Amino acid sequence: TVSIFWFRRDLRLDDNAGLYYALKGGHPVLPLFIFDTEILNQLEDREDARVTFIYQTIEALNNELREQQSSSILIKYNSTGQAWNEVLAEYDIAAVYTNHDYEPYARHRDAELKELFTQKNIEFYTYKDQVIFEKGEVVKDDQKPYTVFTPYKRKWYDKLKPFYLKPYPTRKYLDNISKTSPFQLPTLKSMGFAESKTHFPDKQYKTIIAGYHEQRDFPAIKGTSHIGLHLRFGTVSIRQLATDAYGAEEKTWLNELIWREFYMMILYHFPQTADHAFKPEYDRIRWRNNETEFKAWCEGKTGYPLVDAGMRELNATGYMHNRVRMVVASFLSKHLLIDWRWGERYFARKLLDYEMASNVGGWQWAAGSGTDAAPYFRVFNPELQLKKFDPKLQYVKKWVPEYADFSKYPEPIVDHAFARERCLKVFKEALSKS
Ligand code: FAD
């Protein structure tokens, strides 16, 4: 009899809540990872860098377990339902352990599996791991979820005790992993993917914390951590990050980690916001949705240098600086009046650190339809943003080299003053109907 620990977006052996409880559960633990075909088949890019990242991470974990514990991760490549049918047929299982995932697809999947496990008398234990506070832990005094960030943040700090930051000493119990002969790791090619040559950011974040409040807004310098990818797949522990951030004198970076939890909490309580405006009246906006303009935006050919630089950085690296994400998102939804969901989906395809909760939150913020939104009448001026945040044009010159040669750089796709007026008119029309 074994217990299963199911790795999902927590791909590490250190300080892993679910793995810790599995190891202490009294049965040898068989680790499992499923390459879920329902997710993989939806990816358009057969060289999707995130698939390569997951693959290489699993491979490294597997090698470590093999060398140190003579064990290995059971890998399935199938729909989750099919994969579990196989696992249940192959093993005598006492319990399944895993960590919470708050996205709508994952919640639905886990609810179905819980039923299946219950029918088979298998315990299903799940844990908070990817956030300091989840679901209903930071709520208003009347137990309702916060929908505004600042009071949420205040309550988050009030609630914080050393207990919540304590690491789970997972490695101490790794001997309780079941000894197995190595399982076969299917090749990326056999799953229909090719290895991406994308450079993955490392896990260094400590050096940026102190200067973060002064440097975070300038895309030409590396003033932010680039840790998002590691948070997405759990190759770092949020407890470790929050401990370091809390211990630092400068708390701005910690506040960003709290934004991440705020958006996860919002998506948990308002799952409909994954593809609907948080403020429902914003679903009435009559988007222009011009496909040619959308293509120009995607390719970084709008004639607005900061927008174009951002989109080209995204296309080339899978990353875009936060300040520039705000500018390109505002430009798409307000200047071009293209549905924010088109932009959200494009980011979902391209961002290494794609996180549904933060992406939807960021896009709705930019479009004005979200929780703490920028009001709709505030329309970023991309030229002013450029002057403020890339005054020496270092970022623009890196990504849009032809900008220096005016004859080669396109005219703006739309005039700023005209676009601003058009946006105000269309938004006002939608919002005045209520
Ligand atoms: P740092 O500035 O070093 O921050 C550290 C970590 O804090 C980030 O990795 C992230 O986990 C979290 N964080 C920082 N800022 C925010 C924020 N505003 N909201 C939520 N979490 C934050 N973030 C994502 O992780 N995934 C997304 O898909 C995503 N899409 C976005 C889309 C738009 C339109 C906008 C405006 C923002 C989006 N963000 C997203 C938030 C933010 O831009 C990124 O988290 C940040 O740029 C990642 O870079 P970094 O790792 O260097 O962050």
Q: 262: Cβ–Cβ under 8 A, 6 or more apart, which residues?
A: 146, 149, 152, 153, 361
DSSP bridge partners of 5:
31, 97
Residue 322 Cα, ligand 1 centroid: separation in angstroms? 6
**Is the CB of 241 within 6 Å of ligand 1?**
no
313 lines ligand 1 (CB under 6 A): no
Query: Which segments of the chain have a pLDDT < 70?
Result: 434
Phi, psi (rounded to 5 degrees) for 2: -130, 165
Tell me which residue of 196, 197, 201 sits closest to 319, measured CA to CA: 201
CA dist., res. 36 & res. 80, Å (int)? 6
Report whether residue 152 contacts ligand 1, using a CB cutoff of 6 Å: no
Query: What is the distance between the alpha carbons of residues 108 and 117, in angstroms, rounded to a whole number?
Result: 14
Taking a C-beta distance cutoff of 8 angstroms, is the pair 260, 231 a contact? yes
Indicate which residue's Cα is closest to atom 2 of ligand 1: 224
Q: Cα separation of 268 and 181, whole Å?
A: 39
Cβ neighbors of 247 (< 8 A, separation 6 or more) are none
Establish whether 363 is a catalytic residue. yes
Residue 379 CA, chain-centre distance (Å), reads 26
Kindly report the number of other CB atoms within 10 A of residue 118's CB atom: 11
Binding site membership of 72 for ligand 1 (Cβ less than 6 Å):
no
Paired sense of beta strands 93-99 and 29-36, if any: unpaired
Q: Where are the beta strands (DSSP E) in 120-168?
A: 123-127
Q: How far apart are CA 369 and CA 182, in angstroms?
A: 50
pLDDT at 184: 86
- 50 touches ligand 1 (CB under 6 Å): no
Which ipTM did the prediction report? Answer: 0.99
Is 297 among the residues known to form the active site?
Answer: no
**Which domains does the chain carry?**
1-129 (3.40.50.620), 130-166+205-269 (1.25.40.80), 274-429 (1.10.579.10)
- In 3-state terms, what secondary structure has residue 307? helix
C-alpha 214: how far from chain center: 24
> Smallest Cα–Cα separation from 275: which of 342, 196, 225, 347?
342
Statement: the pTM of the whole predicted model exceeds 0.90: yes
CA angle 174, 178, 180 (to 5 degrees): 125
- Please say if 289 is a catalytic residue: no
Quick one: pLDDT at residue 375?
81
Q: What is the predicted pLDDT for the residue at 405?
A: 83
How many Å apart are CA 306 and CA 420, to the nearest integer? Answer: 17
Under DSSP, is residue 71 helix (H, G, I), strand (E, B) or coil?
Answer: coil
Q: Token pair for residue 356?
A: 């549904």
Q: Which residues of 325-359 are buried (b: 16+ CB within 10 A; e: fewer)?
A: bbbbbbbbbbbbbbbbbbbbebbebbbbbbbbbbb
**3-state secondary structure (DSSP) of residue 225:** coil
Of the residues 84, 156, 363, 399, only one is catalytic, namely 363
Residue closest via CA to ligand 1's atom 28 equals 354
Integer Cα distance of 247 and 249 in angstroms:
7
Tens of pLDDT, residues 127-165: 999 999 999 999 999 999 999 999 999 999 999 999 999
340 in active site: yes
